[in-house]
Structure 1
Amino acid sequence: MVNLFMDSLILILVSKFLKYTATYFRIITAATLGAIWACIAVTIPIHYIFLRNICTYILISLLMIRICAKKCDLKDMIKGVVTLYVVTFTVGGMCHMLYYYTNAGYYINTVILNDKLLVAAIVMAGILLMAISRYLDQFIAYKSKVYDVILKVGEKQVCIKGILDTGNVLQDPYYHKPVNVIEYQAFESIFNNIEDCTKVKYHMIPFRSLGCSEGCIEVIMVDVMYIYRNEKRITKKEALVGLYKQKLSSDNAYQMLLNGECFR
């Protein structure tokens, strides 16, 4: 239990430092993997210590980072492992100092660990703080709705402003993907240079919004869509974009309505 808690804490710090978009579920999954392996490692005979160390300090660490980072190349995984050990040594050193050079060790042994109700309360408080932290992250994301967006089709790209529209739940009935809506004028320079519409999966879908009771909207599939907010980037390959012939913003503050599914 202690290993799981400490691994989760360290992975949360690593995710914050490296700006991973890891959910608490992925962090706990990675921490659980580390805790399970720690239990397995102590049962491995001593003459297999080299193999055990390779698995513990390289393979399992890489896998934990891979779970947290979700999609990353080997270079990013190695960077993540190095950061993992730096954070581990730092946190371990701080805990050692607090335990042995302050009264923290006394209170942990004589007060906290001897009171099961207090231990349960601390665990529940930790879970509650994680839930509140996640809610605040989502609240801030929705509060700051305007994002820089780059859409790429082949060698062409367009840079625009997009807004997170919680009311945009448009789904493509053919590809079963969320559809982001963009002003046709903002995308015209790319759309007019598309020679083969089948390559971008051009089609039309019905909708019931954008000032109309019902109608159809043109949809294409871009190669990749990048969504930027401060230093964070969300990458969506083969994203669907609906072309809207009218203005979305009266003051031209944004040219695109981003589907909330893109942030999950």
Structure 2
Amino acid sequence: MYYEVYVDILFLENLWMDAELLVLTAKLFRKPLHAGRILAAAIAGSLGACLLTIGSEWISRAGCFLGSLFLAVLMTAIAFGREKHFRLTVAGLYLECFLMGGFLRYADQFYRLNGMVFLMAGSVAGVVLSGLETLILEKKKEEQRVCRTVLVCGSCQLELEGLLDTGNGLTDPVSRSPVSLVDRAYMELLLKGDRTERIPRMIPYQTISQKGILTAYRIDIMKIRNLSETVEIQKPWIAVMPQSAGRYPLILHRDLLSS
């Protein structure tokens, strides 16, 4: 039994797919894109894939696996250099390749993929993977902004999940101190556990859709902890949210953490 291999078509198909996989990997790990290095890495990967395909009759499955792994390492080194997290980037490229291959094998059950149809199916798979990566990156970015926060007011101590909001630039008009926002129910708990009378301050605010006056109090301590650091703030200003809290009962000011 034998089959014909058109090396030129095989090379072009692999060139396109390798370039697509490298761009997806760069997006996933937020690496800079250099067109020349991506093209060089894709050419190297495509040539290697052609050699593996031509020699598959004499190479064992283990040999093909090791060969594909070597190509992933080579392509990563050419495209991104031997920098920090190199092994993780190789694993990411290999995973992208695995997912892309699974998508194409599934599609091949319904329609024979070759030539332009193969490239179109690969492009669709790339768009799908890119969309999944966007969801993953957005989720990761939000997790980095979520902080376990302890609020201390007199004898009352609350631990809440706060969101470091890059859009919250609210400040006290007198002291210019940053002001965070807390759900009304939690503010009532804080004040209820405080034996001293705290004088509220009226702070004007304005958003795209509304404006008004917020009631703010200066509590004793705020301890903020996220993935990279822990910060303790003395006498911070906390204002009552203008409406009920959504997912996060505490919205932190954007300048409270160095990051």
Q: TM-score, normalised by structure 2?
A: 0.42
Whose radius of gyration is greater, 1 or 2? 2
